[in-house]
């Protein structure tokens, strides 16, 4: 199930399934409002995006209510998570997945929003989008996130990233499957339990926040994925950005865990993650890895109507 592309005059709904909007965010929030309005869009905020009743955000019931209302609102054509955080998974029990099935539309975010994006896709079949948050359209000091947003959702460019993006082959091969993944710490919470997502024969993409995620924590999470059979099921692996002061790379940690036990293709690029380049990656869309090509991952189906 794929949503419709955006056009000028459409409303973009802004929700906060993770951290709420705080005073320090307002400079960037206001800049993002001005940027999107100058591009011809209208902005509608959820009812609870500024609420901080718990001192670490608001009640997950209210956060999920904003998700449900934005999907149900006929004016809203796309939904953006306003920023990241730590606990978007607390919303799961209160999301109305039937509303989402009946009102498919763009939903986009990254980092902690990984949880919401993967679970919505798994429960409804709706293609969701790992890409800029509303704040990050202006908070990284470049226009790259905005350009990626416009290229994907308005111009409907049916490709991942840009032709000049550099890819590295870690393990050669070919694979085709639906895309799944996002932030490593958050994806780790989705491989078992009530909200375990289907990863069978999928292409897994992973990135991690460098300064807050120590190499030993990354190593622990990769081992957790291995111990729960994730690498036994996926068709391919795509590694994104991780910049830690130790200079230890994400691919180095991953390969120390995987060793030579798995034969699926593995590629690396620095065009998604906690960096200014926020390539929009459609979760649930079919893609193909081919390590013989310069652009080593490509979409093989449309992602928007």
Kindly report the CATH number assigned to the domain that includes residue 178. Answer: 3.50.30.60
6 falls within a domain = no
Whether residues 132 and 192 fall in one domain: no
Task: Return the percentage of the chain with pLDDT > 70, whole number.
Answer: 100
280 falls within a domain = yes
Task: Name which of 240, 218, 238, 229 is nearest 196 in CA terms.
Answer: 229
Tens digit of each residue's pLDDT (9 = 90 or more) over 261-293: 999 999 999 999 999 999 999 999 999 999 999
Q: What is the pLDDT of residue 211?
A: 79
Task: Name which of 135, 134, 94, 98 is nearest 116 in CA terms.
Answer: 94
The set of residues, in sequence order, having a beta carbon less than 8 Å from that of 166 and lying 6+ positions away, is: 269, 270
Q: What is the pLDDT of residue 56?
A: 86
Query: How far apart are the C-alpha atoms of 245 and 211, rounded to whole Å?
Result: 7
Q: Which residue has the tokens 């649930």?
A: 284
Whether residues 24 and 140 fall in one domain: yes
Kindly report the CATH number assigned to the domain that includes residue 125. Answer: 3.40.50.10740
Whether residues 99 and 178 fall in one domain: no
Query: How far apart are the C-alpha atoms of 81 and 300, rounded to whole Å?
Result: 27
First to last CA, the chain: 10
Of the residues 120, 153, 186, which one is the last residue of a structural domain?
153
Q: Provide the domain limits for residue 37.
A: 11-153
293 falls within a domain = yes
The set of residues, in sequence order, having a beta carbon less than 8 Å from that of 146 and lying 6+ positions away, is: 35, 132, 137, 138
131 falls within a domain = yes
pLDDT band at 151 (very low <50, low <70, confident <90, very high): very high
Number of domains in the chain: 2
Whether residues 183 and 106 fall in one domain: no
Tens digit of each residue's pLDDT (9 = 90 or more) over 18-52: 999 999 999 999 999 999 999 999 999 999 999 99
- Whole-number Cα distances in Å, 213 to 77, 92, 120, 246: 35, 24, 26, 11
- Length of the chain, in residues: 305
82 falls within a domain = yes
Whether residues 75 and 177 fall in one domain: no
Q: Which residue has the tokens 């609870």?
A: 48
**Contacts of the segment 155-160: beta carbons below 8 A, 24+ positions apart:** 156/5, 156/304, 158/299, 158/302, 158/303, 158/304, 159/298, 159/299, 160/279, 160/280, 160/281, 160/287, 160/297, 160/298, 160/299
Residue 99 has pLDDT above 90, yes or no: yes
2 falls within a domain = no
Whether residues 189 and 91 fall in one domain: no
Tens digit of each residue's pLDDT (9 = 90 or more) over 171-224: 999 999 999 999 999 999 999 999 999 999 999 999 999 878 999 999 999 999
96 falls within a domain = yes
Mean pLDDT of the chain, nearest integer: 96
């Amino acid at each position: 199930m794929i949503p419709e592309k955006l056009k000028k005059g459409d409303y973009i709904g802004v929700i906060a399934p993770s951290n709420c909007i705080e005073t320090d965010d307002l400079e960037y929030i206001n800049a993002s409002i001005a940027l999107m309005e100058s591009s011809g869009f209208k902005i509608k905020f959820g009812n609870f995006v500024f609420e901080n009743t718990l001192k670490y955000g608001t009640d997950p019931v209210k956060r999920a209510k904003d998700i449900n209302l934005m999907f149900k609102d006929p004016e809203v054509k796309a939904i953006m998570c306003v920023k990241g955080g730590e606990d978007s998974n607390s919303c799961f029990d209160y999301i109305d997945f039937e509303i989402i099935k009946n009102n498919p539309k763009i939903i986009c975010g990254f980092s902690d929003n990984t949880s919401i994006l993967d679970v919505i896709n798994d429960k409804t079949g709706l293609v969701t989008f790992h890409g800029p948050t509303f704040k990050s359209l202006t908070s990284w000091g470049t226009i790259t996130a905005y350009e990626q947003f416009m290229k994907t959702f308005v111009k409907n460019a049916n490709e991942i990233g840009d032709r000049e993006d550099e890819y590295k082959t870690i393990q050669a091969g070919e694979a085709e499957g639906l895309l799944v993944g996002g932030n490593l710490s958050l994806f780790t919470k989705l491989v078992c339990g009530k909200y375990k997502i289907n990863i069978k024969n999928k292409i897994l993409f992973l990135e991690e926040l460098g300064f807050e995620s120590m190499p030993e924590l990354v190593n622990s999470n990769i081992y957790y994925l291995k111990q729960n059979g994730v690498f036994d099921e996926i068709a391919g692996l795509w590694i994104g950005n991780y910049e830690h002061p130790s200079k230890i790379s994400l691919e180095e940690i991953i390969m120390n865990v995987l060793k030579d036990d798995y034969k699926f293709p593995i590629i690396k690029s620095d065009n998604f993650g906690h960096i200014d380049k926020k390539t929009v990656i459609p979760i649930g869309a079919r893609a193909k890895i081919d390590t013989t090509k310069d652009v080593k991952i490509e979409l093989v189906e449309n992602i928007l109507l």
